[in-house]
Amino acid sequence: MSRQQVPGSGTATGFTFKRSTEPAESTMPAIPSFIRSNPKLAFFALLAVAASGFGQTFFIAIFGGALREEFNLSNSWYGASYSGATLLSAFVLLSAGTLVDRWPLRRVATLGVLMLCGGCLVLAFAQSAWMLLPGFFLLRFAGQGFMTHMGMTTAGRYFTANRGRVIALAALGFPIAEALLPTGGSLMIDTNGWRSVWVIAAAVLFTAVLPALIWLAGDTGNRTTESGDGSDQESSDYTRSQVLRDRGFYCLLPAAPMTPFVVTAILFHQTAIADERGWSMAVLAGAFGSYAAGHLLALFFAGGLVDRFGAQRSLPLALCPMIAALALLALCHSTWVPYLYLALIGIAQAGTGTAGSALWPERYGSTHLGAIRSVSQASMVFSTAASPLLLGFLLDRGWDVQALGLLLAGLILAASLLTLLAPMTTKQKPLTVTA
């Protein structure tokens, strides 16, 4: 055995110990390359979107029976109050959404979480039916509206080269919340009562989510950290007033909220659809597993496709699975149909959510992204309030599932074709395909 000493090595026992040439960081979990420029902001966006689940319909819906029983409410009064609060939140978001452009990120996060906590506590201590109105408003505005808007705006603004992938990562917050909150909330309602669940939700938001968001936000203000283009970029970015004068914006806007419009309507009236088709609730419950799987798996591919082909080109393609799903729902009655059509809806939701969120910074720049995106977010909130009422009205008028499926498929096809009429702006890059 050689006793030759290698410079910088130890020879305490006469053996040669060569210093490792691998960096110490190799033993640590690797940060994905697409968020390496600012991982804290990427996870800020993910956490903000996941926390919005406390104000989303999939969580609030588990309290519907308890609230109606507690305050002796009819289905129509309960539904009207919920839809009214949602509509009001959409209008308020048009003004409040600009705060993401003007305030430091930690202050915006503090406002959003505190309002969401307030909504939880209003419901927890409600003593009369009228108190549901401010509670629903705070939950819908802060949760579905403001927290989602803040998370997606952050993902779209502070990442340029890999914007699609980061937005897809942030959108993972939706299936995470869908998996955890309704199940956990239902179990706690059975054991502790519905009021305690809202108190626990407020405590989690205040003691865990808020400090985490403040830490992840750091000193981030309202300038992009990845592009760093300075005042020249800011002067070329569109303002909201310029966007509202752009004809292409109105060609693209209907496609962005189409998926939440359809998903909310389908989920809200799932029982009526299953009854007409003769599908048992067990079949329907299993089919929602395929919806969640399609949504989750498609998110891993949607971001890369948007980064490669561009958000505006990807958006009409992402709507194709939704058109196929609704045509399948309309024309087929077999028990396997709910598994496939809900999986296709989940895939479309992943694709359109990613492309729709990446579209506005790609097309108009990121300087005024909060103000611009608030228009799209408000239209999405408005659509989710209107779609259950529209489908409920048509069902009461005697429309069957086939007619409704074909109507919705036609609306989505029209929105998809309308996007093709929107010309590219000077900020959008031409498509280049490498061999």
330 and 203 housed in the same domain = no
**Residue 72 belongs to a domain with what CATH number?**
1.20.1250.20
pLDDT tens-digit profile of 370-380? 999 999 999 99
| 51: in domain | yes
Say whether pLDDT at 247 is over 80. yes
The answer to whether the CB of 163 falls within 8 A of the CB of 41 is: no
182 and 300 housed in the same domain = no
The CA-based angle 386-392-394, given to 5 degrees, is 105
Say whether pLDDT at 284 is over 90. no
Q: How would residue 227 be classed by pLDDT, with cut points 50, 70 and 90?
A: very low
Enumerate long-range contacts of 337-343, CB under 8 Å, 24 or more apart: 337/277, 338/274, 338/277, 338/279, 338/283, 338/284, 338/287, 339/286, 339/287, 339/290, 340/290, 342/287, 342/288, 342/290, 342/291, 342/294, 343/290, 343/291, 343/293, 343/294
Say whether pLDDT at 63 is over 50. yes
CA diameter of the chain: 93
Domain count, the chain: 2
Mean model confidence pLDDT for the chain: 86
74 and 145 housed in the same domain = yes
pLDDT of res. 30: 65
Say whether pLDDT at 233 is over 70. no
pLDDT tens-digit profile of 26-56? 444 567 777 878 899 999 999 999 999 999 9
Task: Specify the higher pLDDT residue, 205 or 62.
Answer: 205
197, 223, 249 - which closes a domain: 223
202 and 244 housed in the same domain = no
**How far, CA to CA in Å, does 130 sit from each of 123, 126, 290, 389?**
10, 8, 38, 21
151 and 297 housed in the same domain = no
The neighbour count for residue 174, using CB atoms within 10 Å, is 23
| 231: in domain | no
Q: Single out the residue of 136, 154, 376, 151 nearest to residue 260, CA to CA.
A: 376
Straight-line distance from the first to the last Cα atom of the chain, in angstroms, rounded to the nearest whole number:
53
| 70: in domain | yes
Q: Identify the weakest region by mean pLDDT among 22-36, 345-359, 377-391, 411-425.
A: 22-36
pLDDT tens-digit profile of 298-319? 999 999 999 999 999 999 999 9
Say whether pLDDT at 15 is over 50. no
| 275: in domain | yes
Number of H helices, E strands in the chain: 23, 0
106 and 208 housed in the same domain = yes
Say whether pLDDT at 281 is over 90. no
Cα–Cα distance for residue pair 411/415, rounded to 1 Å: 6
Say whether pLDDT at 197 is over 50. yes
Say whether pLDDT at 428 is over 80. no
Cα–Cα distance for residue pair 5/40, rounded to 1 Å: 44
* Most trustworthy range by pLDDT among 47-56, 273-282, 284-293: 47-56
pLDDT tens-digit profile of 137-179? 999 999 999 999 999 999 999 988 889 999 999 999 999 998 8
242 and 217 housed in the same domain = no
168 and 86 housed in the same domain = yes
pLDDT of res. 430: 65
Helix (H, G, I), strand (E, B) or coil at 17: strand
176 and 45 housed in the same domain = yes
Cα–Cα distance for residue pair 384/240, rounded to 1 Å: 23
pLDDT of res. 31: 74
Strand partners, 10: 17
223, 247, 271 - which closes a domain: 223
Task: Specify the higher pLDDT residue, 156 or 61.
Answer: 156
Q: Which two tokens stand for residue 212?
A: 């985490």
Contacts of 298 (CB under 8 A, 6+ apart): 346, 347, 349, 350, 351
Say whether pLDDT at 234 is over 70. no
Cα–Cα distance for residue pair 404/393, rounded to 1 Å: 11
Say whether pLDDT at 283 is over 90. no
pLDDT of res. 291: 86
pLDDT of res. 429: 66
Helix (H, G, I), strand (E, B) or coil at 5: coil
The answer to whether the CB of 202 falls within 8 A of the CB of 142 is: no
pLDDT of res. 235: 64
The answer to whether the CB of 390 falls within 8 A of the CB of 397 is: no
| 376: in domain | yes
Q: Phi/psi at 17 (nearest 5 deg)?
A: -115, 105
The residue with tokens 């990807």 is 314
166 and 258 housed in the same domain = no
Cα–Cα distance for residue pair 222/220, rounded to 1 Å: 7
Average pLDDT of span 259-264: 88
Does the pTM surpass 0.85? The reply is no
| 241: in domain | yes
Domain that holds residue 403: 237-428
pLDDT of res. 94: 92
253 and 218 housed in the same domain = no
Can you spell out the DSSP letters for 117-186?
HHHHHHHHT--SGGGHHHHHHHHIIIIIIIIHHHHHHHHHHS-STTHHHHHHHHHTHHHHHHHHHHHHHH
| 5: in domain | no
The neighbour count for residue 40, using CB atoms within 10 Å, is 12
47 and 115 housed in the same domain = yes
173, 201, 223 - which closes a domain: 223
pLDDT tens-digit profile of 70-113? 999 887 788 788 889 999 999 999 999 999 999 999 999 999 99
| 1: in domain | no
